[in-house]
A and B are shown apart, each in its own frame.
Chain A
Amino acid sequence: MTVALPASSARRGLGIDLSKPVLIAFAVILFLLIAMPLSWLVLYAFSSKTGAFTLDNFHRLLTDAAYLDPLLTTFALAILTALICCIVAAPMGWLVARTDMPLRRTVRLLVTASFVTPPFLGAIAWELLAAPNSGLLNQLYRELTGAEQGGHLFNIYSFTGLVFVISCYTFPYVFVLVANALDRTPGDLEDASAILGGKAWDTARRVTIPLALPSIVAGALVAFLQAMTLFGSPAILAMPAGFHTMTTKIWSLFQFPPQPELAAAASLPLLILTIVLLRAEHMVLGRRGYSVVGGKNSEPRIVRLGRWRWVMLTAAMLVLMCPVFLPYFALLNASFSKVASHLVSINNFTLHNLHFVFYELSATKLALRNTFILGTLAATAGTVLALVIAYVHTRQAVRGYRLLGFLATAPVAIPGIVLGVGLFFTYTRPPFVLYGTLWILLIAFVTLSMPAAYQQLQSAFKAVHPELEDASRILGATRLRALWQITAPLLRTSVIATWCFIFVGVIRELSAAIMLFTSETKVLSVLIYDLNESGDLAAIAVLGLLMLVLTFGIVALANSLKFGGARRLSAP
């Protein structure tokens, strides 16, 4: 039935329905977006300087300690981050989803705040907090304990420091997965366990934890991938400490004299590992089905914490100090302090940093403008692309819809810096010389945001029954018209949410942008990274806060439209 319908509609549409060429065009676009950079990447990886086929690049990668060390460091980093994220985020997810802990909504909001905080900004803020000598926390420590000059509690310029900071901005991935899974898991099974006399701990051990386990494992894999492919935080914290990760190594291979062949070869392990891990995640999450099978779903069972309520809230807030409260405080302090490592006081207060960033720094205006243009264009193009593909996929509108869905999800397996390298190869040569224009950045941002946007819109489409569209089509509308007049209004809120989501993603993207920008196409994240290399912390603090204000503005806008839209939809 479901197979027959699209086939017949396609035949009927021939000649008058524009949908088919449009769909083919989209498939071609997607294919070009993803296949071209990756082909160049693979080609370069197997090329010598003269362009002949060789395996030397891989040989060097695996035998030279300068490349092997970063590879091993990256693994250790990713594994530790994944572990820490699970240990911290899974109990937190349970607390907000399944207990009567106070301020659960606030905790969720604060996790969202750490989610949208760009990791490189967090890393710089943690430099202000925990650099061994000038860090605010270490100064406080010496003040309190009377420790000598040089004595410190934290050293952020270290492997542990890097793991800590990356975990701060990666744990939300695990948190969201676990909290959502627990939100959806019905309480029946736990009730059954309780009725049969299981104690709270037995129920947790034998029912709740096994039910949450797939999402925890999936979260661990996502955290692993994030830590493995992140560029900003290691560049800011690892290089001062005297070590590289894979991403910083790849990037350093582009410094003069550039070694693009080695960079391409070094990118491939990241790409392959990502694909393998995503398959694994898919298998793990694919089994999740069993947790929600069953008759009517009951409300999740809420565990009463009793007097532990406030203890748990304190613990959650202590965790949130690390990604949100402390870093934001450090940035705010540095923005208005004459010396970034001193607390603002009456004789230390200054507005000069603001003045410098907005009136003297000639790159500010350009970077803001580029970020806005790219954010708007990428969000719009990305949403349209994802919308069409999600539609085609859920309605199975053309043959080969599976391929479209696959293509839209594929970029999830391409780390930002790897895509950056691939795009650099593709668009610095004829016939498409896009390097030096905003287009190349637009392509990168659209490609990187496609999987998440597609998934969001696909689940939105699934929620809208095709009957309404079918009715419109029976009354003579073309597929595009039905889509525009019937489906689009129903999906409005999801579309706006997706748009905002991509926009926020563009603001915080650094790892692809760092490979692709030129002086005329600098964006805010690159500007902040540039300033960090010359140690201009005060200017970074001001720009960072500006970036956060922009981000939260967009998130708030998305939320208000979402709620407003929902009300309007349910009103009639």
Chain B
Amino acid sequence: MEGSKISRRNVLVGASALAAGAAFSTRVVSAAPPASAVTPALIEAAKKEGKVVWYTSVDLKLSEQIGKAFEAKYPGVACKVERTGAERILQRIGQEYTANVHAVDVVNSSDASHLVYWKDQGVLEPYVPEDVAKFYPAEHKDADGTYASFRVFLCIIAYNTSMVKKEEAPKSFADLLDAKWKGKIVKAHPGYSGTIMTATYQMSRDLGWEYFEKLAQQNILQVQSAADPPKKIALGERAVQADGVEYLIFQEKESGQPVEPVYATEGNPLIIGPNGLFKAAPNPNAARLFQSFCFSPDCQQLCIDIGGLRSVHPQIKEHTGRTPLSQIKTMKDDAAAVLKNGEQIKARYTKIFRV
């Protein structure tokens, strides 16, 4: 009785019932709260707070563009983007919360297991934007309403077309183990990047750790962010990326850089980057407004068109000239397994690649 009353008020009044709503939702409810629309009251309350802090691992340029699009739609609410690797975000939030520093409002991680972890810790606030409730498929939203898939993309091989002829380009992960690629590969790190963490799990499961042991013999250039390999091959620093985000390959290619994606025949790691908001968010209303914005068709279309990401919002059109996601063989994502094996994966990777 008490619970349902508060929860209804939470929906109707939005802002004013925040504190009560947060306290109430800690453990009692196991189902998601009802969908929340963007109301004038919410916009007003967000404006009073003046800003929202978004910790994200989306590539810097795109994340700032998303922030700017939000600011353009809701003038008076600044979006402060804090971009770093997903694994760093996990570490940062851990350290900050231990020291009772509550700086983050909304988080986006390319390692979906982080959201599961934070939810288990009880620090995420259930909040379901209207678009998520209406349009998002069940497998792309948390049953308890604490997060949903903000972005979907692949972790792929790619090459520099002025350094590698099309017919000589690798077609599979196994191809990368050929001696001719020695010293020509760039690869990102699972200790920094959530994309690579997720991909390393899926690939070690499907291809075995032997693949990585052999790859380590190829004299790779070890960078940190999964956003870096596409930049390194566009620069011409290495001919091929063993892993890296697909969306930057699209961005580079479409802006005229000599790069080309490769969809490996073994299947391509599927990366899901959910958004969630924190109970202790310093700007709770702006956080809700931003979360709703992130899943809106406007923002999702922007992520596709200029960002090169994929979307699970059914109203979004895929970009012409890019291979549709449905035609690509993907590996199966499994956030729970990544959560369980994360530490081991990092330790094993460090042992094999020595950094």
Contacts and interface: CB of A to CB of B under 8 A. Distances in A.
Contacts of A533: 84-85, 192, 223-225, 228
B87 A255 contact: yes
B125 to A, nearest CB: 19
Interface in B218-239: 220-225, 227-228, 231-232, 234-238
A244 B222 CA distance: 12
Chain A binding site: helix, strand, loop or mixed by DSSP? loop
A237 to B, nearest CB: 11
Interface stretch (A369-377, A428-436, A494-502): A428-436
Given A239-B355, A356-B64, A534-B85, 15 more contacts: A133-B237, A134-B235, A238-B355, A239-B224, A256-B87, A339-B235, A363-B81, A436-B99, A518-B92, A533-B85, A533-B223, A534-B60, A535-B227, A535-B231, A536-B231
B122 interface: no
Interface stretch (B2-10, B17-25, B310-318, B346-354): B346-354
A520 B84 contact: no
Interface in A248-297: 252, 254-258
Contacts of A340: 235
Contacts of A134: 232, 235-237
Interface in A524-542: 530-531, 533-537, 539
B96 interface: yes
A428 B98 contact: yes
A339 B234 CA distance: 8
Interface stretch (B100-108, B127-135, B272-280): B100-108
Interface in B291-315: none
B235 A256 contact: no
Given A339-B234, A341-B236, A536-B60, A518 B96 contact: yes
Q: B interface, how many residues as a size bin? A: 35 or more
Contact of B92 (A257, A341, A519, A534): A519
* In the complex, the 4 A-B pairs of residues with the closest C-beta atoms, listed nearest first: A436-B101, A535-B228, A134-B237, A435-B99
B91 interface: yes
B80 A150 contact: no
Contact of A150 (B65, B184, B257): B184
B350 A66 contact: yes
Contacts, number: 132
Interface string B318-332: 000000000000000
B334 to A, nearest CB: 19
B238 A133 contact: yes
A261 to B, nearest CB: 16
Nearest to B88: A255
A258 B90 CA distance: 11
Interface in A396-454: 428, 433, 435-436
16 contacts: A131-B237, A134-B236, A240-B222, A242-B222, A242-B353, A252-B191, A254-B91, A255-B91, A339-B257, A360-B61, A435-B101, A518-B103, A534-B225, A535-B227, A535-B228, A536-B61
B178 interface: no
Contacts of B87: 255-256
Contact of B232 (A239, A252, A360, A535): A535
A362 B99 contact: no
B31 to A, nearest CB: 30
Nearest to B229: A535
B224 A519 contact: no
